[in-house]
Amino acid sequence: EAQVTQNPRYLITVTGKKLTVTCSQNMNHEYMSWYRQDPGLGLRQIYYSMNVEVTDKGDVPEGYKVSRKEKRNFPLILESPSPNQTSLYFCASRLQPSETYEQYFGPGTRLTVT
């Protein structure tokens, strides 16, 4: 089944403890992206990648890192999480970078930082 998977789905952590949220897609998509979703706000883009080894900042990149060493994987790294990073996170992918292509979303990761 074609899909975007994320792990973990739920995570509670403490301030300053490094964490990684994994994202994987099995559709051979070139473009991958991370978003966060907060109450009352639309999805906001954190980072995106147009292909292997090519990443760039989105609208809210502060406090996050990403890497794209393989086409299928695009992990999101929080080196020193803070409470304002408590949010619902979505990974997404599409076949090509062009916005005309349909984007597929993962199931989400709910992160709580205390």
Partner 1 sequence: KNQVEQSPQSLIILEGKNCTLQCNYTVSPFSNLRWYKQDTGRGPVSLTIMTFSENTKSNGRYTATLDADTKQSSLHITASQLSDSASYICVVTPRRGTYKYIFGTGTRLKVLA
Tell me if residue 83 falls in helix, strand or coil.
helix
> How many residues does the structure list for the chain?
114
Pair of tokens at residue 95: 């076949």
Q: Across the beta sheet with 65-66, what order do the strands follow?
A: 4-7, 19-25, 76-78, 65-66
Binding segment for partner 1 (CB under 8 A), chosen from 13-21, 62-70, 77-85, 101-109, is: 101-109
Closer to partner 1 by CB, 14 or 41: give it.
Answer: 41
**Counting contacts by CB under 8 A, is residue 86 touching partner 1?**
no
Q: 60-87 burial, b for 16+ CB within 10 Å, e for fewer?
A: bbeebebebeeebebbbebeebeeebbb
**Counting contacts by CB under 8 A, is residue 103 touching partner 1?**
yes
Which residues, numbered 11-50, are part of the site for partner 1 (CB under 8 A)? 31, 40-45, 48, 50
If binding means CB under 8 A, how many residues of this protein chain bind partner 1?
A: 23
For the bound state, the minimum distance from the C-beta of residue 33 to partner 1, rounded and expressed in Å, comes to: 8
Pair of tokens at residue 4: 């975007």
Residues that bind partner 1 (CB under 8 A): 4, 31, 40-45, 48, 50, 90, 92, 97-100, 102-103, 105-108, 110
